[in-house]
């Protein structure tokens, strides 16, 4: 029996033990004990003599992980598939063919995505606006002759210490959080500590982390700053979904030795509303809570 993990980039990783599936359950077999399935949306797959086995959290799984799973299924010879679905607990379904299993997994993921569509909205902001003055100052300072003291002053006093410094790891291609201000509301001290030196995507709300990571990667690709208004509904652990309104700037910053770094800074705003004319923010919160 071969146990593999499919990560959120669609890559196959060896699972270290043959009894992998058993270790994903608590003593009563009720909930996943593996943090990767709980928080990152990775997928566990096994090819055994009995059946192909798939453990998945459809609420968190990424597009690339889903594609990786479909490719893995196509490469297998067996037909019978057991799908373990991770939610508040485990439920299991047995499908007679890989084709039906693929269809069922897509249905599960699509249903979850319908519930989270529209949680993260963004619209280009005007850099010339008066309220964008701290962002203009930050762009001016983050050039080849960057003054770290001046940048720190802008982040602390002009932008309320709401910043995240990110480094591109050249080996893995991951975006690693190297610094984070204390001005973000919502993060507990332990959560902030766990984010540092980790991937951008590994936020308490993993969907939000992936969305934030997309913004960083857009700046990496285009090489120009990104300034936008954001209307986001974030699921904080142990709390009801909460709406956050802010303007954010993401820009590349010059570093020695050819390193690639990015800086994100933001200001909270009460006058942003990107949900008018569609479904209001409070209605979406109600849907998320009831769903």
CB 196 within 8 A of CB 163: no
Most confident region among 90-99, 138-147, 243-252 by mean pLDDT = 243-252
Cα torsion 76, 66, 83, 118 to 10°: value is: -160
Contacts of 54 by beta carbon, 8 Å cutoff, 6+ apart:
43, 44, 45, 46, 69, 81, 82, 83, 84, 101, 105
Question: pLDDT grade, residue 30 (50/70/90)?
Answer: very low
Alpha helices in 142-195 (DSSP H): 148-153, 189-195
Average pLDDT of the residues in 233-237: 83
The whole-number pLDDT of residue 257 equals: 74
CB 134 within 8 A of CB 146: no
Question: pLDDT grade, residue 203 (50/70/90)?
Answer: confident
81: pLDDT strictly greater than 80: yes
Degrees to nearest 5, angle at CA 224 with 221 and 228? 100
DSSP character string of 227-240:
EEEEEEEE--TTS-
Q: What fold characterizes domain 120-290?
A: Beta-Lactamase (3.30.450)
The whole-number pLDDT of residue 17 equals: 53
- For the chain, residues classed under CATH 3.30.450.20 are 120-290
3-state secondary structure of 160: coil
227: pLDDT strictly greater than 90: yes
Side-chain-facing half-sphere of 152: CA atoms under 13 Å: 4
225: pLDDT strictly greater than 80: yes
């Amino acid at each position: 029996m071969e146990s593999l993990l499919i990560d959120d980039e669609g890559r196959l990783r060896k699972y270290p033990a043959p009894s992998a599936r058993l270790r994903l359950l608590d003593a009563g077999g009720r909930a996943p004990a593996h943090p990767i399935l709980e928080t990152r949306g990775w997928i566990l797959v096994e090819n055994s003599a009995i059946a192909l086995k798939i453990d998945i959290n459809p609420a968190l799984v990424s597009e690339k992980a889903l594609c990786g799973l479909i490719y893995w299924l196509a490469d297998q010879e067996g037909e019978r598939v057991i799908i373990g679905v991770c939610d508040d607990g485990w439920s299991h379904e047995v499908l007679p063919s890989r084709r039906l299993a693929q269809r069922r997994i897509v249905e599960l993921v699509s249903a979850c995505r319908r519930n989270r569509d529209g949680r993260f909205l963004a619209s280009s902001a005007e850099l010339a606006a008066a309220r964008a003055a701290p962002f203009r100052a930050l762009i001016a300072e983050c050039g080849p002759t960057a003054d770290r003291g001046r940048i720190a002053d802008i982040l602390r006093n002009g932008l309320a210490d709401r910043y995240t410094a990110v480094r591109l790891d050249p080996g893995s291609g991951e975006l690693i959080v190297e610094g984070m201000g204390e001005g973000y509301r919502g993060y507990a001290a332990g959560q902030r500590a766990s984010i540092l030196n980790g991937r951008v995507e590994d936020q308490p709300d993993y969907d939000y982390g992936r969305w934030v990571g997309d913004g960083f990667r857009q700046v990496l690709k285009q090489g120009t700053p990104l300034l936008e208004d954001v209307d986001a509904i974030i699921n904080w652990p142990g709390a009801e979904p909460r709406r956050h309104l802010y303007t954010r700037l993401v820009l590349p910053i010059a570093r020695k030795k050819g390193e690639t770094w990015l800086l994100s800074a933001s200001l909270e705003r009460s006058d942003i509303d990107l949900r008018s004319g569609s479904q209001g923010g409070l209605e979406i919160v109600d849907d998320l809570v009831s769903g």
